[in-house]
Amino acid sequence: MGLEVLPLHESFVAEVTGIAPTLDVNDAIFKEIERAFYTHSILVFRDLNMSPEQHIAFTRRFGPLHIMEPLQFNLPGYPEVMVVSNVEDGSRPKGLKRAGWGWHSDGEDKIIPNAASFLYAIELPPEGGDTLYADMYAAFAALPPDIQAKILGRRARASRIELHNVHYPHLPALTEQQKRERPDVHHPMTRKHPRTGWTSLYVGRWCIDVDGLPKAEGEELVRYLQDFAVQPRFVYRHRWRVGDAVLWDNRCTQHCATPFDDTKYRRHMLRTTLEGEAPMQAERAVVRPAPHQWVAAAD
């Protein structure tokens, strides 16, 4: 039984098979997995059986971990593991409810966004609760040339402060202290991936307007790009099974959790998160090449 990498979509996402359900792999195999991750942007693992220690240990091989705050949504004793869940312990929520019900990449509204996230399914509802993923290299490549030229080298403003109530209407409003901790950020609209060098479209749901453009024009451009990015041709739908884990690269993909009846069913997931870097501006377009040219891309 050897490692296999099987594409699940024509442009991104691959399933990795032939490895231990604990993801305890040697360095040579890990190198293959890492290469597959940077070329396919998203890896799906199935039938896993990982302890929180194993989940953390595998993720850490890609780089330093990010501890999600506030710590109230992390697994007790394991600050590196965030709980995405509607399950309650008495009346206390065990995790963040309705996380990511809308297209985004993790941390896009922070100064240092998260590089990658690794979500592991522990308990699932019988219907609903799929996760959608969209390929931002493909979205960038498919943009009309005049729009590419308009956004290359530009920045857009992401605002937790203005959009928190829009995206998290079920959560309390931000306190003044939280607002100070989550100031507006101005990220490149076209992002250069630090490992592959390829250009992705970097505009998600926390984005609001564009630096250097009149407000209304910037808002309209942001809405256009948000809609363009998530057209069905760029999207892979993950239908979860218990024991699945999906590792996604937030620098070149977006994702969107789809709803389920959370008054009736339980959905309980554990997530580790990789520390990121300040997004690099793509000053010129470097379109992701065809798969047969990927071999050396991530080395």
Ligand X SMILES: O=C(O)CCC(=O)C(=O)O
From residue 98 to residue 137, the character string flagging contacts with ligand X as x (rule: CB under 6 A) and all else as - is -xx-----x----------x-x-----------x------
The stretch among 12-20, 95-103, 165-173, 209-217 that binds Fe ion (CB under 5 A) is 95-103
- Residues 105-124 within binding reach of Fe ion (CB under 5 A): 106
Binding residue (CB under 6 A) for ligand X from 33, 269, 270, 274? 269
Min separation Cβ 272 and Fe ion, Å: 13
The encoded tokens of residue 293 equal 């040219």
Binder among 66, 164, 271, 288 for ligand X (CB under 6 A): 271
> Which of 39, 66, 96, 100 contacts Fe ion by CB under 5 A?
100
Give the count of residues interacting with ligand X (CB under 6 A).
Answer: 11
Cα separation, 164 vs 86, whole angstroms: 19
216-255 residues in contact with ligand X (CB under 6 A) are 255
Select the binding partner of residue 201 from ligand X, Fe ion, none (C-beta < 5 to 8 A, by kind).
Answer: none
205 binds, among ligand X, Fe ion, none (CB under 5 to 8 A by kind): none
The least CB distance from residue 102 to ligand X, in Å, is: 9
Considering CB distances under 5 to 8 angstroms, the limit depending on partner class, which of Fe ion, ligand X, none binds residue 131?
Answer: ligand X
Residue among 43 and 221 whose Cβ is closer to ligand X = 43
Which of 103, 140 has the CB closer to Fe ion? 103
Kindly list the residues in this chain that would bind Fe ion in the complex (CB under 5 A).
Answer: 100, 106
Kindly list the residues in this chain that would bind ligand X in the complex (CB under 6 A).
Answer: 84, 99-100, 106, 117, 119, 131, 255, 257, 269, 271
